[in-house]
Amino acid sequence: MATTNAPATQDKLVYDPQYILQVRDLKKYFPIKGGMMNRVVGNVKAVDGVTFNLKRGTTMGLVGESGCGKTTTGRTILRLYDTKTAGDVLFNGKEVYDLSHEELRHMRTEMQIIFQDPFSSLSPRLPIGEIIGEAVREHNLVPKAEFDDYVDEVMDQCGLQPFQKERYPHEFSGGQRQRICIARALALNPEFVVCDEPVSALDVSIQAQIINLLNELQEKRDLTYLFISHDLSVVEHISDTVGVMYLGNLVEYGAKRDIFNNPLHPYTEALFSAIPIPDPDAKMNRIVLEGSIPSPANPPEGCKFHTRCSKCMEICKHEAPCQREIEPGHFVVCHLYD
Ligand code: SF4
């Protein structure tokens, strides 16, 4: 049984070319200020120890209850915050937070994000051809003479008609707007895309179309996705690997079949026990979690899940467990596997 978590390791993370993204013990805290002097009196530990590797051309689903730190993890990886609190984020072997201004500008074309809300993430004042092409022009990605054809091609790949270029976002449905968001992200020809709940604001029938589009585009362009969602059936459909987050920690991750068929962490077991079984005769053994999620500003000592865990032991209350590899590629953070 290998222990792979890195909290105690300060040595440099070694680049492994099979992985487009290597994340080790990533932390992102947000200070809480208060008192007369407006001093820092605490921290919201939104991301508090996330370790995983992501292979090129694959999709990792990131799941967990809302507020568990999924979105902050995605944004910290993309360096959408100025700083991280601790840890390493290697993208194609380069530490994202060590990049110069110029290198970061270039990296912005290689790493993209698709947001949850296709309504608020599009400027209402620009026609969609401009929205999709704006960053392409800014980064001089294609010669001027080829710009229009390039935007047409990207729109076509994303299921939009080039004649719609002059229309404004309000003239489109929710599903079409999400296609516009996908086209805007892919126009920069990225290698890696964080999809942050990209279908949760859409009707179920439209969700399937968008998921299929993401799958098709991944195949055509060899894209790598970090797919953030609270919808386990969507994650099961799209992911190759799955990570489960609880209160800022990645408590389990591995191949999709291992996580869905053999969840090891008590939190993963509870989360996955709620998936409906499409068989009227099958009995669901749903595990109902008692209590609510503790505050990330004041998380419990030891294992952060111990206040809700039915298998809690004495050690869990005082000592935080390390990440262990239980079978090849299947990692869990729980004292049951020490
Ligand atoms: Fe439960 Fe202990 Fe495992 Fe935490 S470490 S999930 S409290 S058994």
Give me the DSSP letters along 266-321.
Answer: HHHHHHHTTSPPS-TTSPP---PPPS-PPPTTSPPSSSTTTTT-TT--GGGGT-PP
State if residue 277 touches ligand 1 by the CB under 6 angstroms criterion: no
Atom of ligand 1 nearest to the CA of 309: 1
Distance 299 CA to ligand 1 centre (A): 14
Relative to the CA of 267, which ligand 1 atom is closest?
A: 6
Asked whether the predicted pLDDT for residue 282 surpasses 70, the reply is no
Q: Do 129 and 123 meet the contact criterion of CB atoms below 8 Å apart?
A: no
What is the model's pLDDT at position 8? 44
Work out the pLDDT band at 277, boundaries 50, 70, 90. low
Q: 27 C-alpha to center of ligand 1: Å?
A: 21
Cα-trace Rg, the chain: 21
State CA 184 to chain mean position distance: 19
Is the confidence at residue 123, as pLDDT, over 60?
yes
pLDDT band at 259 (very low <50, low <70, confident <90, very high): very high
Ligand 1 centre to CA of 316 (Å) is 6
Residue 53 Cα to ligand 1 midpoint, Å, equals: 24
Mean pLDDT, residues 103-122: 90
Contact predicate 195/214, CB 8 Å: yes
Instruction: Please give the Cα distance from 142 to 51 (Å, whole number).
Output: 37
Query: Is any atom of ligand 1 closer than 6 Å to the C-beta of 305?
Result: yes
Alpha-carbon distance of 128 to 181, in angstroms, equals 10
pLDDT reading at 142 higher than 70: yes
Residue 2: pLDDT over 80? no
In which band, very low, low, confident or very high, does the pLDDT at 87 lie, cut at 50, 70 and 90?
very high
Which amino acid type is present at position 179?
A: R
The predicted pLDDT at position 326 comes to 95
Residue nearest to atom 7 of ligand 1 (CA): 306
| Number of the ligand 1 atom closest to the C-alpha atom of 251 | 6
- pLDDT at position 7, please? 43
Two tokens, residue 228:
């953030």
Ligand 1 centre from 48 Cα, in Å? 17
Q: Which of 110-119, 146-155, 318-327 has the lowest mean pLDDT?
A: 110-119
Give me the mean pLDDT over the 176-189 stretch.
Answer: 93
Question: pLDDT tens for residues 151-162?
Answer: 999 999 999 999
Q: What is the mean pLDDT of residues 66-81?
A: 95
Kindly report the pTM of this predicted structure.
0.91
- As a whole number, mean pLDDT of residues 97-104 equals 95
Query: What does the mean pLDDT of the chain come to?
Result: 91
**Band of pLDDT at residue 245, cut at 50, 70 and 90:** very high
